[in-house]
Amino acid sequence: MKSLMKAMVLAAAWAALPSAYAAQPLTDGKGAPLIHLNVAAAGWGGTALPGVEGRNYIFPDASYLNKWQKGGIRVIRFSILWERLQPKLMGDFAPVYAQRIDTFLAQAAARDMGVIIDIHNYGRFNGQNIIGTPAVPTSAYQDLMKRVAQRWAKNPGTHGYDLMNEPYGDADKYWKANAQAGIDGVRAFDKVHPIYVEGRSFSSTAQFATLNADLLLLKDPSDNLIYSAHLYLDDGSSGQYAKPITGKFDPMVGVNRAKPFVEWLARNKKRGQLGEFGVPDNDPRWLTAMDNLLSYMHDHCVPVAYWAAGPWWGKDPVAIEPINGVARPQWPVLSKWIQKTNNCP
């Protein structure tokens, strides 16, 4: 019975699209886009550093963004690795890797899309050296962000900068100082684009308010900071979804996990984003919870970036990348909220 029900739900979802990612009308222009998309490709293979392009990581090809443009996506969070971009602290950028980023930004700009450049390093350099320690001084991280902004501030494909993906563990105690250094580095060359600031302990929504009060003291001369948290619906909010749903399932689990972060933003009159969120395609109850969360975030004008798309995701159950041209079950739910108009500032 469950298999039949699942098949019926998925068939209805797919039938709603005339093709995998059909052209859809965009919003009426009120406010900024509330649905973003993670494209994870250039940041693959974090244990292979610097790695080999085509073996450990990949950049999307020239036509990759077409389907997302047609689907209404306008903001891409694009993960890159510090070590691949700047192999030596305080040194020059690796020419080929930097040029690949140039190309991706140009591909986005040509499609009226913007890219959030995401330093996907967990508060570390080379996987284990904590930023803020003698091995990786804060000044080296500031140098990175200064160079990033210097190269891409005026690129029409740049939407903003995510300072650091999911600081955690020993990196947490240095994060406020490092985040300020990152802001200062960006603002040395870019006074315009937003800067996304993640929180400690993997930037969890559940712990954001309690662990990151000092991030409210960050200074941005451009007053354009956006606090970015991550949220998944499995036990521990890890995003691994290692166990299927058993027993009673709360379809408001995502809303309940988002509330502490959203209410923290409101109390402090700050802007925010869910920088990562995703659900598996193997149970329609996840899709219901996803829909409820997106409704809540829409009502509170907090953008959500789905994790993840990219050319190497294959049949990963959380990925939204189509398989053989067929849309994933998560797409109709996400697409519905792309098309919703909003009155957000």
Per-residue pLDDT tens over the stretch 25-72:
223 344 568 999 999 999 999 899 999 999 999 999 999 999 999 999
In a domain, 237, yes or no: yes
CATH of the domain at 10: 3.20.20.80
Query: Is the pLDDT assigned to residue 244 strictly greater than 70?
Result: yes
In a domain, 16, yes or no: yes
Residues involved in catalysis: 166, 276
In a domain, 218, yes or no: yes
In a domain, 155, yes or no: yes
| Count of the separate structural domains present in the chain | 1
Per-residue pLDDT tens over the stretch 164-223:
999 999 999 999 999 999 999 999 999 999 999 999 999 999 999 999 999 999 999 999
Domain range holding 223? 2-339
In a domain, 32, yes or no: yes
In a domain, 108, yes or no: yes
Query: Is the pLDDT assigned to residue 146 strictly greater than 80?
Result: yes
CB atoms within 10 A of CB 99: 12
In a domain, 345, yes or no: no
In a domain, 24, yes or no: yes
Query: Is the pLDDT assigned to residue 163 strictly greater than 90?
Result: yes
